């Protein structure tokens, strides 16, 4: 991967980062690169456990669907920058090739996968 075909995703409050390709979701990139983002539904927009906040360059991602908005209604600490990591698919690289996100410290998760 070269810098030209990926966007760097810096995770605020965490010394980790991801490399994200166009067409890839933040959740898929995180799991492929060993970064834990909690999820209970397997990334199919059926829960709110992969709630994140996109702090910069949110306009480079696919727009939230009504289903995603409905799931975010169940999340805690929702803000205007809130998205589900499974639905946050990069559509184009920002000019800076960098996005900043934060992962809330807690969420509503009754079932955890992969543990």
- H or E element at residue 101: strand 98-102
Mean pLDDT of 44-73: 96
C-alpha 27/C-alpha 65 separation (Å) is 17
At residue 114, does pLDDT exceed 90? Answer: no
Which residue bears the tokens 């070269």? 2
Which domains does the chain show, CATH number per domain? 3-102 (3.10.20.30)
Q: At 25, phi and psi to the nearest 5?
A: -85, 155
Query: What are 65-103's pLDDT values in tens digits?
Result: 999 999 999 998 999 999 999 999 999 999 999 999 999
Mean pLDDT of 11-27: 93
Give residue 2's pLDDT. Answer: 53
Give residue 89's pLDDT. Answer: 98
Model confidence, pTM:
0.88
């Amino acid at each position: 991967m070269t810098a030209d075909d990926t966007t760097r995703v810096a995770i605020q409050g965490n010394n980790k980062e991801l490399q994200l390709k166009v067409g890839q979701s933040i959740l898929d990139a995180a799991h492929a690169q060993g970064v834990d983002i909690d999820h209970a539904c397997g990334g199919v927009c059926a829960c709110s456990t992969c709630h994140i906040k996109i702090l910069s360059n949110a306009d480079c991602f696919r727009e939230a669907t009504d289903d995603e908005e409905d799931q975010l209604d169940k999340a805690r600490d929702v803000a205007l920058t809130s998205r589900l990591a499974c639905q946050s698919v990069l559509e184009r690289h920002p000019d800076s090739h960098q996005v900043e996100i934060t992962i809330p410290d807690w969420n509503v998760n009754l079932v955890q996968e992969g543990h």
